Amino acid sequence: MRWSESYLFTLKDKPADAEIPSHQLMVRGGYIRKLAPGIFTYGPFFLRALKKFEHIIREELGKKGGVEILMPMVHPKEIWEETGRWKEMGAGLLKFKNRNDQEFCLGATHEEAVTDYVRGDVKSYRDLPFNLFQIQTKFRDEIRPRFGLMRGREFVMKDAYSFDVDKAGALKAYEKMYSAYEAIFQRLGVDFRIVKADSGNIGGDQSQEFHILAQSGEDELLVCENSDFAANVEVCPAVSEPVESSDSENPLEKFETPHLKTIDQLAKALKVPSQELVKTLFFNKAEPDSEVFEPVCVLTRGSDEANPIKLKNLWGLSNPPRLLSDKEVFEVSGAHPGSCGPVGLKMPVWMDHSLKGRKNMVVGANEDGYHYRNANLGRDFKVAEFADLRMAKEGDLSPDGKGTLKSFRGIEVGHIFYLGTKYSEKMKAQFLDESGNLQPIQMGCYGIGVTRSLQAAIEQSHDADGIIWPPSVAPFDLHVCLLDPDSPESLQLVDSIEKSLHAQGASIFVDDRQERPGVKFKDADLLGFPLRLNIGARSLANGEVELVDRATKEISKIKIAEAPQEISAAVQKKKGTHVH
Ligand code: ATP
Ligand code: MG
């Protein structure tokens, strides 16, 4: 392809609203253009990368028996009401009415749609198992779309759904998808980790996420230094050293703390580490959008954070519970946050495991400006439940006991779930088993953020000058900077290189604009194809052309007579050997 025949507009300056390098570079390189917040046009070059990645996905899913379909992106309200998710998904589902006042939403995920599809066809155990997938545009009305395609409102997802007769079959399907995903991200050529994850709104009780590691990642991952244990911090079990205090219980004593509002201020004033203090929080133990008001007190060490996802799962909610407002805290405890504690509360108190065994604790007195010293469990207050309520953190013992945890930032690019019968029961997707009994189908669901993965690959692979595409999905394999675009010799050489590359299925992009070499080199670096070839009158006179490796900037001189073969070989090598 020639620049002059293409649609490509690069920008010198980074767009004001792009915070992270991959977003800046994609806009500067003309790969994406914003139509509205979180909604983008994919330019012709990004579309090439997208198609290559989709091809990898199709091949790997095909190897595991995946069958491709394409479902509607507009869904009737009724199917989402069958599962209760019309309400549960909240404002993330974009809902609207048609001219007949019928309600619809844009597909944010397709468990309901696919279950409806399948229940119409499947009758017997003989019809199972199978695995359906699609690559399609999703819409989620994200509160804060940002970072370009990373958190878009409209984005491309690959979603797959497995259907089996029993749990063993469903877990086998899960394992197959796990290995397909491993192969997909290996072929993409990125550094990724697989971690235990929360099932979120999707449901089910086993789930893992695939993360591309990058500084700007929105997720924190905790990985054991010595084993393969890895989890999203949202669900990572927190291991706490047991406290075995042999201190005797001292008398409860109220003392003034007029200006001490935070744990840090209190720790400083009392000259004790915040870890030795107790943090008191109040949550509503009900769905965040419900009318029910059921205040619960949660206690952790002063240095810890309560984990709302763990609370959600412990309390059987579908969304994380909300913290009480300052006003509500005052109403239920008699004090404002900063002076609250468990003594005298009329509500259940949940205590994190790490506080078990503590004696003579400092806690808020439920009176503004006062704390208690020597508060003791049993004597001064009661605990309804001990549980793992806190965020695990770097330096904690790994739950598998094999070392300590290290923290990484990751971008979630894939997510696999074992669902069980959550959807099939509610939507009556059933089959007759061998004994003639009706059974709900066992399901799994599996997503890849296709557009997010590509941007995440760029976030992981770029330098100050531009993108360094993984060769597997680079829009073109070779970028030719034609320095004298009118020279017939140059054009002839380009033609023979192009023929040789096309013969092996490789692609070539030729910058044939009337521009200075410096401008062309800058754009080539920005666009980031794996190899660049400089062809100009001077190089032709010397009988040599320059091949530049985008990643290492290494230059090799190639004799013109051997150029077509040598360049084909170099392209082949790039494609074949790239492993992150
Ligand atoms: P997140 O936690 O990032 O909001 P999610 O857990 O809600 O994502 P899933 O329901 O697991 O997302 O969707 C499957 C995949 O789709 C995700 O792993 C992610 O790669 C991608 N994805 C989800 N939301 C977005 C978005 N707003 N923009 C781009 N890709 C997304
Ligand atoms: Mg997810």
260 lies in the same domain as 356: yes
Ligand 1 interacting residues, C-beta cut-off 6 A: 109, 140, 142, 151-152, 155, 157, 200, 202, 412-415, 447, 449, 452
- For residue 192, how far is its CA from the centre of ligand 1 (angstroms)? 16
Whether 306 and 414 share a structural domain: no
Q: Are residues 295 and 420 in the same domain?
A: no
Whose atoms come closest to the Cα of 454: which ligand? 1
pLDDT of residue 178: 97
Give the whole-angstrom CA distance, residue 221 versus residue 195: 7
Closest CA to 411 of 184, 154, 214: 214
| pLDDT band (50, 70, 90) for residue 366 | very high
Nearest atom within ligand 1 for CA of residue 209: 18
Domain boundary pick from 340, 357, 387: 387
Last residue of some domain: 332, 360, 387?
387
Taken in order 364, 370, 375, 378, the sign of the CA dihedral is: negative
269 and 179 assigned to the same domain? no
The arithmetic mean of pLDDT across residues 115-128, rounded, is: 98
Average pLDDT for the chain: 95
pTM exceeds 0.85, yes or no:
yes
Shortest-distance atom of ligand 1 to CA 202: 10
Q: Is residue 331 part of a domain?
A: yes
Average pLDDT over residues 539-558: 95
Same domain? For 289 and 174 the reply is: no
Domain that holds residue 357: 253-387
Please, which pLDDT band fits residue 163 given cuts at 50, 70 and 90?
very high
pLDDT tens per residue across span 453-503: 999 999 999 999 999 999 999 999 999 999 999 999 999 999 999 999 999
Of all ligands present, the nearest one to the C-alpha of 153 is 1
Q: What is the DSSP string of 439-468?
A: EEPEEEEEEEEHHHHHHHHHHHSEETTEE-
Does residue 26 fall inside a structural domain? no
- In Å, what is the CA distance from 235 to each residue of 7, 313, 392, 424, 480? 46, 9, 8, 26, 49
Peptide bond into 129 cis (omega under 30): yes
Residues 67 and 210 in one domain: yes
Q: Say if residue 161 is in the same domain as residue 213.
A: yes
Amino acid at the residue 369: G
Name the token pair of 78: 């009724």
Looking at the 3D structure of the chain, how many domains does it have?
Answer: 3
Shared-domain flag, residues 367 and 425:
no
Of 155-159, 245-249, 433-437, the range with the lowest mean pLDDT is 245-249
- With H, G, I as helix, E, B as strand and everything else as coil, classify residue 333: helix
Residue 231 sits at φ, ψ, to 5 deg, of -145, 150
- Across the range 144-167, mean pLDDT stands at 97
345 lies in a domain?
A: yes
Is the residue at 88 inside a domain? Answer: no
Contact 570, 477 (CB under 8 A): no
Q: Are residues 201 and 63 in the same domain?
A: yes
Between CA 348 and CA 296 the distance in angstroms is 5
Question: Quick one: which atom of ligand 1 is closest to the CA of 448?
Answer: 15
CATH, residue 53: 3.30.930.10
The bound ligand whose nearest atom lies closest to the alpha carbon of 449 is 1
Task: Kindly tell me the sign of the dihedral angle through the C-alpha atoms of 327, 333, 334, 340.
Answer: negative
Q: For 280-317, how does the pLDDT look when each residue is reduced to its tens digit (9 = 90+)?
A: 999 999 998 889 999 999 999 999 999 999 999 999 99
Last residue of a domain, one of 360, 387, 414: 387
35-51: buried (b, 16+ CB within 10 Å) or exposed (e) per residue? eeebebebbebbebbbe
The residue whose CA has the least distance to atom 19 of ligand 1 is 449
CB 550 within 8 A of CB 461: no
**CA 117 – ligand 2 centroid, Å:** 23
Greatest mean pLDDT among 39-43, 260-264, 534-538 = 39-43
In this predicted structure, the answer to whether residue 580 has a pLDDT above a threshold of 90 is no
Kindly list the protein residues that place their beta carbon closer than 5 angstroms to ligand 2, a single-atom ion: 415
Same domain, 332 and 455: no
- Please return the burial class of 256, using the count of CB atoms within 10 Å of its CB with bins 0-12, 13-18 and 19+: exposed
Atom of ligand 1 nearest to the CA of 414: 18
* Ligand 2 centre distance from Cα of residue 201 (Å): 9
Q: Whose CA is nearest to atom 2 of ligand 1?
A: 412
**Å from CA of 478 to ligand 1 middle:** 32
Asked if residue 25 belongs to a domain, the reply is no
Which tens digits make up the pLDDT trace of 197-231?
987 766 666 899 999 999 899 999 999 999 989 99
> Alpha carbon of 177 to those of 61, 65, 418, 420: distances in Å?
8, 10, 11, 16
Q: What CATH number does the domain containing 363 carry? A: 3.90.960.10
The answer to whether residue 518 is domain-embedded is yes
Looking at the fold, whether 424 and 280 belong to one and the same domain comes out as: no
* CATH (domain of 480): 3.40.50.800
Please say whether the beta carbons of 453 and 413 come within 8 A.
yes
Residue 434 included in any domain: yes
SS (H, E, C) 347-387: CCEEEEHHHCCCCCEEEECCCCCEEEEEECECCCECCCEEE
pLDDT class for 577, splitting at 50, 70, 90?
Answer: low
Task: Please list, in sequence order, all residues whose beta carbon lies within 8 angstroms of the beta carbon of residue 580, skipping any fewer than 6 positions away.
Answer: 189, 190, 191, 470
pLDDT, tens digit, 9 for 90 and up, residues 423-453: 999 999 999 999 999 999 999 999 999 999 9
Does the pLDDT of residue 549 top 90, yes or no?
yes
Nearest residue (CA) to ligand 1, atom 8: 412
Compute, in angstroms, the gap from residue 462 CA to the centroid of ligand 1: 23
Residue 204 has a pLDDT of 62
Examine the domain organization and report whether 304 and 344 are in the same domain. yes
CA of 449 to the centre of ligand 1 (A): 6
Mean pLDDT of 373-382: 95
Compute the average pLDDT of residues 513-534. 97
Q: Could you tell me if residue 53 is inside a domain?
A: yes
Classify burial at 491, counting beta carbons within 10 Å of its beta carbon; exposed 0-12, middle 13-18, buried 19 or more: middle
pLDDT > 90 fraction of the chain, expressed in percent and rounded:
93
